[in-house]
Structure 1
Amino acid sequence: MVLSEYTYVFVIGTFFAMLDAYNNGANDVANAWATSVSSRSISYRQAMVFGTVFEMLGAITVGARTADTIKNGIIPNSAFKGDAGVQMLAFTCALAAASSWVMWCTKHSAHVSSTYSLISAVAGVGVATVGASKVQWAKLQGWNNGKGMGAIFAGLGMAPLISAGFAATIFMLIKVVVHLRKHPVPWAVYTAPFWFLIAGTICTLSIVYKGSPNLKLNKKPGWYVASVTMGTGAGVCALSAIFFVPFIYARIIKKDYTVKWYMFLMGPMLFTRQAPADAQEAKVPNYAVIQEDDDLSNPASLSDYDPKSEGKDDISPPADQEKIAVAAESKQLSYKTQPTYKELMAAGDDKLRQKLLKKRGPLGWAMRTLRDNPMGAGELYEFHNMKIVAKRIPAYIVCGALYGLHYDIHAAQTGHSGTPEGDRMARVYSHAKKYPNEVEHTYSFVQVLTACTASFAHGANDIGNSVGPWAVIYGAWSTGSAAASKAPVPIWQLAVLSLVISLGLITYGYNIMKVMGNKITYHSPSRGCSMEMGAAVTVLLFSQFSLPVSTSMCITGATVGVGLCNGTLKAVNWQRVGLLLLAWLLTIPIAGTLGGVTMGLFLNAPHFSS
């Protein structure tokens, strides 16, 4: 029986579930892919494609298990005493509190964990609804077979440390086997299948051992799990030996710049392929993190910068442009000497806007539409302003959908020379040894596989954040019974919310990605794949015990662990790490308070009885 009188609660709950999933993609998933983009192993647009595919695969195949923890592991179903309406309202308030907090943080590029935001909000709602004694606190209810609040929050301290240990171990293995060799390039080429073996095994393990509840793969005997996992990993290893090693041998060792990406299909024939006579240097990307890679990093290039000259290309209204020009004139001297960090970032954003304004595609059209149609005089309801709004709304939608795909992540990630942040990052980078580009290029291919593994693991684990409460709301609304929350999560709900997570990554993920990655420590493909494998193993380990753990915390811990492998504490930007830790800690009381207060207000609001 559908609770028609609570349909409005179901609609509102669905909206906040979508918003929470969107924020999850813009915050946690963006942080996970920041490692690959920071290492220059994959472009931002490619990361969006791979992220979408593997997030959905992980969510649909193995995501239901962690969703069950959010549904029934924090607030016992019996605590609602069969009142489906109160149950729906409780989880709607939890989603509203968590999504609002994460959205605010994402807008201000403050990275927080969407996992712990929702867990804290659910706990706060539970206190307001059924009392603190009914919430599964570790001190009161034990560990509840690994699903109590104490077990979940234990991951806050354990996950980053465990992830750091895994990632550091993997990178030190790469360092000993390859980087410390007198001639590391041949070692990097010929040992590549081994790293594909590790990455392939981790990816297969996440699918087979955890398994989809519908397929019951996790119920298979140990020998089956071991044989399938190792067999698939060995198959990936063999394929890389047949196709990848000859391809990378021709490109790096023989320095054949005529080798195209699709020629890997030639396999061993590439060993005998003759390289051009003028092949003197391997044609590989430069993976070095450089702060002075554009005009914005050179103060002299800004000495003649005149903000007034940009007025005709600015999308701000004329009145605002005049104010900007006046303010710029009063600060003219600062451009003649040394620009501040804020001025450098403003100039960088303006440079990006000027580039986008010249594009011929939908984004260029949208940017020009906003520039050429500023709001006129008077109120919004004036007829001429209503016509302008009709033109600007489609342009705003297009900009919101496509702006992130054109954002210059690398320019935003590195500090600019001459600023405090630029000097700090330069000191951090100086303590990290730079390895040959030929060696790093080999691991860029491995990192694509490890990035997909990390994305799959994130989809398997963090989909429970949004789909758990949404499944409770939907179950209570559609059946009229609070007990329906014990039912399995439908696959269609996992698919819908995983798609929304990907949408958040694509359209708004740049806001978090620009402050992660190279802002913590020096990145390169060999370091990046170690970070991602370490984080993926940790997430899968926690998810196996149905513990929703923050992927963000895992990848951050892995990043710090690999940074420490440089042999000094100075190779890590501890200021950024401290800010991340502070944001994580503040999330718990803020999200919990927001959820509890919201639920308390609704429960105790004046109402009329029939």
Structure 2
Amino acid sequence: MLTEYTYIFAIGTFFALLEAYNNGANDVANAWATSVSSRSVTYQQAMVLCLVFEMTGALAVGARTASTIRNGIIPISAFNNDAPVQLLAFTCAAAGASIWVMWCTRHSAHVSSTYSLVASITGVGIASVGASRVNWGWSGGQGLGAIFAGLVMAPVASGCFGAIIFSLIKFVVHVRENPVRWAVFTSPFFFLIACTISTLSIVYKGSPNLGLDKRPAWFIASVTLGVGFGMMFLSALFFVPYTYCKVINRDYTLRIWHIWKGPMLFYRPRPEDADMIVVPDYAVIQHAGDSSAGHDSGLRRLSVQEANDMTTETKRPNEATADNKGSSTDSEIEDQTPPVVTQQSYKKLLAEAREAHHAELRKKKGPLGWAMRSLHNNPMGEGAIYERHNLAAAVKRVPAMVVVAALYGMSYDIHAAQVGVLGTPEGRRMDRVYSMAPKYSNEVEYLYSFVQVITACTASFAHGANDVGNAVGVWAAMYSAWRTGKTVGSRAPVPLWQIAVVALTICFGFITYGYNIMRVMGNKLTYHSPSRGSSMEMGAALTILIFSQYALPTSTSMCITGATVGVGLCNGNFKAVNWQRVGLLFFSWVMTIPIAALIGGGIMAVTLNTPSWGSG
């Protein structure tokens, strides 16, 4: 054991876990933003589901890509059996990646934590063993050539998968005369795809943690298809009757535990006032700070006034204004110039929305409400921190700040805080993008909100299978070099407890800080709805699982972005995608490579060449 280098291992562990935390706050948040933006799940529900399926994917599959991160970029032979240098190298790599992603997450900038880590390792390799020793080629899918090829391959593959799945939904369900029934009775198809792909990712080539690496082909095929079609049969037996009553019959008295009645639910009497029940309005365009744009998350009873309003033709706001004034024509209204919003007024709108959210939190009971009230009632006063009144305020604020850091994200209103305030350039741009997308039946979208929970869980499983391996790779290398005093072998196993710790850290990052990315991503690429979101998540999950099968680290963010663009193009109009946002995302991915490499390589160069104590 390299006891004299324990402090380096401790520092490396801190940065490795910080990189995993940032992975959850950035990549996982982006993956779940589709479901939360479509209102298929709440942020709180996403936290629980993420924890379950992220851990499952990590423990079942997650060690596969660790060898690529650990050994594929810098060959083991390059360290010449110098374990302390290898320990230092991966410590600096974790530091470089975590510093860059943390800065980006703090400023709500969306980057790839996977490529940040890969680039940082590359920079460290150049600084420690020289550019000639870094594996720049394909190298059986483990070199930088293969990894950086994923910068294009992954988004394109995800876009194709997402477009194919949504096209099937569009032509099998949406364009039918009775789309709701088609949506209900074709929903088991998603169970088939999700369970087949997830099972295949575990048994094909064998999960390192389940001893499946020597199973024959017939075993893999039978288990995979058996699980897939088995879940399809169970969904047809239980899920279809439940959604039939919930969506078609609008049975608001139905509860989730009634799902076990299966086909008997078809004989359940329809409520007499079912016509007074409406489903969420998924066609609503949401703007930050416009709380009235939201809708309920489940079935809702119409009020008498709303029922009366539905029997008469309602006017658009602009038309009503014109009638009241009696002097404006439609052409004059269309020519009206939108209000001018300056940078100062834009920031003021965001600050007002944030303060309104904080005011609601201060009214709550429990630890978070107490903490928010403590911070509000004890502001820092004038003068320096050492002034007596500031010291007294700081003593009261520090415990409250700890509570807020742990619990604030769990109560964050993602929809009210999305950047894109009505009247700003971003808001007007998204209005134009949304107008290019056809809006389908709310009943159909409500059905797919149930389906999207399945696809979101599959995407979270896929993320655990891929990104946990990326994050744990450098930490496992540090631990092995520190514990054995030898450079890490190419076949060294990754301890299961390390995978579990990293997976939990990723989930913790999503729960406590993921809102910082979700609040600016949301529906900023194209129009979202549950049927579209299901296709996006399934397309991204397919790509991630295929890449992880071949030990190719890929970015969850890139996959979900590619799938989102692919589904957006299925609207039949090139303008249905916000290409400015797509360009900014691609620019951030590309710039991540040199910046993370410079940070990691710079730290390694300075540390490695620092004169030791007592050197002459």
Q: Normalising by structure 1, report the TM-score.
A: 0.90
The residue aligned with 2:583 is 578
The residue aligned with 2:231 is 236
Deviation at 1:211, TM superposition (A): 3.9
Deviation at 1:61, TM superposition (A): 1.5
Query: Could you tell which deviates more after superposition, 509-518 or 546-555?
Result: 509-518
Deviation at 1:416, TM superposition (A): 2.4
Query: Could you tell which deviates more after superposition, 474-483 or 90-99?
Result: 474-483
The residue aligned with 2:299 is none
The residue aligned with 2:545 is 540
Q: Contact conserved, 1:457 with 1:536, CA < 8 A, in 2?
A: yes
Deviation at 1:439, TM superposition (A): 0.6
Pairs aligned (count):
570
Q: Aligned partner of 2:528: which letter?
A: H
Deviation at 1:243, TM superposition (A): 1.1
The residue aligned with 2:357 is 352
Aligned counterparts, 1:154-165, within 5 A = 154-165=149-160
Deviation at 1:533, TM superposition (A): 0.7
Q: Does 1:342 align with 2:357?
A: no
Q: Does 1:65 align with 2:64?
A: yes
Q: Does 1:255 align with 2:254?
A: no
Separation in structure 1 between the aligned mates of residue 422 and residue 473 of structure 2, nearest angstrom: 46
The residue aligned with 2:564 is 559
Q: Aligned partner of 1:245: which letter?
A: V
Structure 1 residues 256, 294: CA separation in 2 closer, same or farther (over 3 Å shift)?
farther
The residue aligned with 2:219 is 224
Separation in structure 2 between the aligned mates of residue 412 and residue 385 of structure 1, nearest angstrom: 31
The residue aligned with 1:449 is 454
Q: Aligned partner of 2:75: which letter?
A: P
Deviation at 1:27, TM superposition (A): 0.4
Separation in structure 1 between the aligned mates of residue 53 and residue 403 of structure 2, nearest angstrom: 25
Q: Aligned partner of 1:3: which letter?
A: L
The residue aligned with 1:471 is 476
Aligned counterparts, 1:14-93, within 5 A = 14-93=13-92
Deviations along 1:166-225, one digit per CA (max 9) or x if unpaired, are: 010000001111001011111111111222212222222222225421323243222211
Q: Contact conserved, 2:163 with 2:566, CA < 8 A, in 1?
A: yes
Separation in structure 1 between the aligned mates of residue 102 and residue 588 of structure 2, nearest angstrom: 14
Structure 1 residues 541, 284: CA separation in 2 closer, same or farther (over 3 Å shift)?
same
Instruction: Please give the secondary structure, in 2, of the residue aligned with 1:412.
Output: coil
Q: Contact conserved, 2:26 with 2:517, CA < 8 A, in 1?
A: yes
Q: Does 1:196 align with 2:191?
A: yes
Q: Aligned partner of 1:254: which letter?
A: N
Q: Aligned partner of 1:366: which letter?
A: A
Q: Contact conserved, 1:41 with 1:448, CA < 8 A, in 2?
A: yes
Aligned counterparts, 1:154-553, within 5 A = 154-209=149-204, 211-291=206-286, 295=290, 340-376=345-381, 378-382=383-387, 385-413=390-418, 415-483=420-488, 486-553=491-558
Structure 1 residues 104, 338: CA separation in 2 closer, same or farther (over 3 Å shift)?
closer
Deviation at 1:584, TM superposition (A): 0.3
Deviation at 1:605, TM superposition (A): 1.4
Separation in structure 2 between the aligned mates of residue 338 and residue 15 of structure 1, nearest angstrom: 39
Separation in structure 2 between the aligned mates of residue 556 and residue 267 of structure 1, nearest angstrom: 37
Query: Could you tell which deviates more after superposition, 84-93 or 218-227?
Result: 218-227
**Structure 1 stretches lacking a partner, 5+ long:** 299-333
Deviation at 1:608, TM superposition (A): 3.2
The residue aligned with 2:314 is none
Deviation at 1:412, TM superposition (A): 2.6
Q: Aligned partner of 1:246: which letter?
A: P
Deviation at 1:244, TM superposition (A): 1.2
Deviations along 1:334-383, one digit per CA (max 9) or x if unpaired, are: 99999943222111111101111111121110011111222345543455
Structure 1 residues 450, 295: CA separation in 2 closer, same or farther (over 3 Å shift)?
closer
Instruction: Please give the secondary structure, in 2, of the residue aligned with 1:410.
Output: coil
Separation in structure 1 between the aligned mates of residue 342 and residue 92 of structure 2, nearest angstrom: 52
Q: Contact conserved, 2:374 with 2:396, CA < 8 A, in 1?
A: yes
Separation in structure 1 between the aligned mates of residue 202 and residue 246 of structure 2, nearest angstrom: 33
Structure 1 residues 293, 63: CA separation in 2 closer, same or farther (over 3 Å shift)?
closer
Instruction: Please give the secondary structure, in 2, of the residue aligned with 1:503.
Output: helix
The residue aligned with 1:96 is 95
Deviation at 1:250, TM superposition (A): 1.4
Q: Contact conserved, 1:62 with 1:210, CA < 8 A, in 2?
A: no
Structure 1 residues 37, 135: CA separation in 2 closer, same or farther (over 3 Å shift)?
same
Query: Could you tell which deviates more after superposition, 279-288 or 440-449?
Result: 279-288
Structure 1 residues 34, 192: CA separation in 2 closer, same or farther (over 3 Å shift)?
same
Deviation at 1:251, TM superposition (A): 1.9
Structure 1 residues 338, 496: CA separation in 2 closer, same or farther (over 3 Å shift)?
closer
The residue aligned with 2:304 is none
Q: What is the aligned-residue identity percentage?
A: 66
Separation in structure 2 between the aligned mates of residue 7 and residue 194 of structure 1, nearest angstrom: 52
Separation in structure 1 between the aligned mates of residue 284 and residue 341 of structure 2, nearest angstrom: 28
The residue aligned with 1:107 is 106
Q: Contact conserved, 1:61 with 1:211, CA < 8 A, in 2?
A: no
**Structure 2 stretches lacking a partner, 5+ long:** 294-338
Q: Does 1:136 align with 2:135?
A: yes
Separation in structure 2 between the aligned mates of residue 579 and residue 274 of structure 1, nearest angstrom: 53
Structure 1 residues 209, 430: CA separation in 2 closer, same or farther (over 3 Å shift)?
same
The residue aligned with 1:331 is none
Structure 1 residues 338, 220: CA separation in 2 closer, same or farther (over 3 Å shift)?
closer
Separation in structure 1 between the aligned mates of residue 210 and residue 581 of structure 2, nearest angstrom: 43
Q: Contact conserved, 2:61 with 2:209, CA < 8 A, in 1?
A: no
Structure 1 residues 423, 94: CA separation in 2 closer, same or farther (over 3 Å shift)?
same
Q: Contact conserved, 1:297 with 1:417, CA < 8 A, in 2?
A: no
Structure 1 residues 476, 609: CA separation in 2 closer, same or farther (over 3 Å shift)?
farther
Separation in structure 1 between the aligned mates of residue 603 and residue 93 of structure 2, nearest angstrom: 8
Q: Contact conserved, 1:476 with 1:484, CA < 8 A, in 2?
A: no
Deviations along 1:533-585, one digit per CA (max 9) or x if unpaired, are: 11011011111110100011000000000000000111111111111001000
Separation in structure 2 between the aligned mates of residue 385 and residue 109 of structure 1, nearest angstrom: 30
